[in-house]
């Protein structure tokens, strides 16, 4: 096992023809629920911004606080609270209905507006002459969950995204505890306006392992983990959407939970094995992160033959030019043998 200051290996390459055009270094960590680091490469003690990869952990406060039960938050809404969704109608309609049940509308969201990341949904919005709204933001489900917690705590809804708000303090404490840290570093601001705390990759992997296998955690925390896992497994299309890797993996491998973050971060867990995984592509390339997380999950034995076949094209995606011709591919680097394959 490497890690703790070592240089991350070149793990993913982009080939144009047969020549390597780009290379991507990937740091990763695999941990057990007791916090032990089982495998690592690169400097996994260096804090990174996990961004949206921690949404399932941020959603713990929604369930654990009692807010989800008090406001009748459905399983589908719990999945959406963990999501970086594509802004498809199914996502947007669910957020609108959730907010309406709270007596609110999209103007209460503090995430800002951007067009749907699902291209056909964005095209339909443009064709209809409608500007994007806050409900189209990929984080609107998470924000609806945070608003629900604010209502439950009797705290103001306005300002729920600020680091000093009771909702964000509650979320920060659950993140700290799940990661097994004595304290969290001061946060920066995520793209959707909420705090994002830097967390070492090794500790993020441990947090995901505890989410997968919450033995020894307080009863309410363990129950919240189980409930959110069940929601993500039951509704993978709500966690991301059509054409998105997280949803595609969970649809064919329901024993795996996967969540992407910005700038080349992925977090995943395997409940059956009680393992957590976290990775960071050092240059932030999302295309490399997808190939790397698939290779690492495959090495962990997460995919049966059917799932591996369904994800084969994703594991080594082809590059096409504007005429549609295949001109290259993205693939694991020659000689990169992650995890148990290297023993």
Say if CB 316 and CB 331 are below 8 A apart.
Answer: yes
Q: Is residue 309 classed exposed, middle or buried when 0-12, 13-18 and 19+ CB atoms within 10 A define those classes? A: exposed
State the pLDDT at residue 341: 43
State the pLDDT at residue 227: 98
State the pLDDT at residue 3: 60
State the pLDDT at residue 343: 36
pLDDT under 70: residue ranges of the chain: 1-5, 339-343
C-alpha span between 109 and 89 (Å, rounded): 18
Go through the domains of the chain in sequence order and give each one's CATH number: 10-342 (3.40.710)
State the pLDDT at residue 4: 60
State the pLDDT at residue 325: 97
| 35 closest CA partner among 220, 171, 205, 240 | 205
pLDDT digits (tens, 9 = 90+) for 7-54: 899 999 999 999 999 999 999 999 999 999 999 999 999 999 999 999
pLDDT digits (tens, 9 = 90+) for 312-338: 999 999 999 999 999 999 999 988 877
- The position carrying tokens 């998105």 is 244
- The position carrying tokens 């443009």 is 126
State the pLDDT at residue 1: 52
What's the token pair of residue 292?
A: 């790397």
State the pLDDT at residue 335: 85
State the pLDDT at residue 6: 81
Claim: this prediction has a pTM higher than 0.85: yes
């Amino acid at each position: 096992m490497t890690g703790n200051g070592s240089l991350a290996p070149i793990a993913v390459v982009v080939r144009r023809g047969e020549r390597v055009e780009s290379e991507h270094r990937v740091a990763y960590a695999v941990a057990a629920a007791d916090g032990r680091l089982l495998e690592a490469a690169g400097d996994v003690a260096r804090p990174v911004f996990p961004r949206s990869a921690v949404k399932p952990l941020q959603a713990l406060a929604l369930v654990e606080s009692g807010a989800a039960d008090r406001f009748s938050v459905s399983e589908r809404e719990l999945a959406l609270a963990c999501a970086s969704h594509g802004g498809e109608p199914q996502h947007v309609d669910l957020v609108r209905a959730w907010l309406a049940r709270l007596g609110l509308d999209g103007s209460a969201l503090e995430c800002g507006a951007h067009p749907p990341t699902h291209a056909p949904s964005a095209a339909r919005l443009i064709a209809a002459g409608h500007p994007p709204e806050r409900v189209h933001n990929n984080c609107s489900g998470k924000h609806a969950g945070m608003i629900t917690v604010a209502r439950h705590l009797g705290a103001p809804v306005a300002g729920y995204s600020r680091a000093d708000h009771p909702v964000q303090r509650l979320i920060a404490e659950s993140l700290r505890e799940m990661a097994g840290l004595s304290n969290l570093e001061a946060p920066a601001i995520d793209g959707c306006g909420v705090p994002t705390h830097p967390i070492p990759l090794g500790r993020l992997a441990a947090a995901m392992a505890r989410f997968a296998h919450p033995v020894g955690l307080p009863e309410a925390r363990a129950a919240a983990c189980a409930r959110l896992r069940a929601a993500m497994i039951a509704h993978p299309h709500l966690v991301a959407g059509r054409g998105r890797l997280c949803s595609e993996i969970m649809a064919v491998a329901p024993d795996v939970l996967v969540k992407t973050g910005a700038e080349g971060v992925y977090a995943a867990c395997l409940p059956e094995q009680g393992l957590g995984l976290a990775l960071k592509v050092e240059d932030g390339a999302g295309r490399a992160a997808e190939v790397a997380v698939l290779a690492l999950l495959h090495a962990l034995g997460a995919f049966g033959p059917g799932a591996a076949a369904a994800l084969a094209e994703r594991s080594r995606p082809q590059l096409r030019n504007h005429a549609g011709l295949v001109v290259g591919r993205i693939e694991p680097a020659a000689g990169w043998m992650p995890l148990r394959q290297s023993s």
